[in-house]
Amino acid sequence: MQSKYSILSILVFSLLTACGQHISKQQLIDKYTDSTSKFIEIDGNTVHYKDEGTGETLILLHGTASSLHTWDQWSSRLTEHFRVVRMDLPGFGLTGPDKLDRYEISDDIHFLNTFLDKLDVKEAHLIGSSLGGRIAWEYSIEHPQQVKTLTLINALGYPQDSWPPAIQLAMLPGMETILPWLSSRFIFSQSLNDIYHNQSLITDTTIDRYYELSLFPGNAEAFPKRVKAKLDNHSNKVKEISTPTLILWGKEDKYFPAKNAEYFLADIERATLKLYEDVGHLPMEEIPGQSSYDTINFIQSTLNEETDQATPMLGQQE
């Protein structure tokens, strides 16, 4: 299903509504960090991350134009059972752009491997949403001994019939220079209407978070470079995934259709699928209780199978 907003209408409204808002780097850091925020240097980049809880290590990878904040509700639940690590990927959030403009999936895999090495993480459960899912599943192929389970949430992996209008706009030639001048709260407000099926979640606070983090120095210039990377190819490699995999999918996703979830299920030998009715692209935000519950039980069940121990499952989700 296409958005009612065309690339041309977004371009026109962006020109009319862009107001050149400026928020300093320090103001953004002050607003979008808390006592659990940490920073680490990786390949010359200062990476914003959080490392909370104890137990088996879970790594949470967000999607395009998002940030580690997308996992806030999940993290509050998961840290009761696990060590939970999440970061702003290069080009997004408070991490900002990669200094060498490295945005192919191979670059993300190198980044993640270096990040885990810095944190001395030898094994982990990888959980990725959208772009984060694309990074997670290819990482599991290249580093199978390091990935204990894999959870894919409305993940990239198969050729796209279409992209969200804002991404299509960013793919146009020359957008690295033009887009910073076009960036407006309007773009993010309308894009989120397509991403969330539950429109009540699109609050001023949510819109501000996406928009304001796009103003972090260098993120607007990085966005076109990010989306021009080869993200929906190599689907033939999905069959190489050997890690136990949980596939979570919102059936109302407009751009990452539920048929892709079925493709993942067919191609991955050890896969389980849960489809959610009346949920869009971000199940971890739209139904945090149910989706986190399903993920926790999947991980615990997989661990029990490997250790041949029958430990009780969790109670019903909140």
Binned average pLDDT, 10 residues per bin, the chain of 318 residues? 45 45 90 98 96 97 96 96 97 96 94 98 97 97 97 92 64 57 72 91 95 93 83 86 98 93 97 98 97 97 78 50
Three-class SS of residue 219?
Answer: helix
Which ranges of 90-148 would DSSP assign to H, the alpha helix?
Answer: 105-118, 131-142
Q: Helix, strand, coil: what percent of the chain each, to 5?
A: 45, 15, 40
pTM for this predicted structure: 0.88
Residue whose C-alpha is closest to residue 99's, from 91, 88, 89, 110: 91
The CATH number of 7-307, from 3.30.70.600, 3.40.50.300, 3.40.800.10, 3.40.50.1820, is 3.40.50.1820
pLDDT for residue 191 = 84
Give the tens place of pLDDT for each residue, 179-215: 555 566 777 888 898 899 999 999 999 999 999 999 9
Q: What distances in angstroms separate CA 280 from CA 62, 66, 148, 197, 204, one per listed residue?
A: 15, 15, 27, 5, 19
pLDDT of 173 reads 59
Q: Which of 42, 43, 115 shows the shortest CA–CA distance to 85?
A: 115
Nearest to residue 212, comparing CAs of 187, 189, 190, 185? 185
Residue 12 confidence (pLDDT): 43
pLDDT at residue 255, rounded to an integer: 86
Q: Where are the domains of the chain?
A: 7-307
Strand 57-61 vs strand 45-52: parallel, antiparallel, or unpaired? unpaired
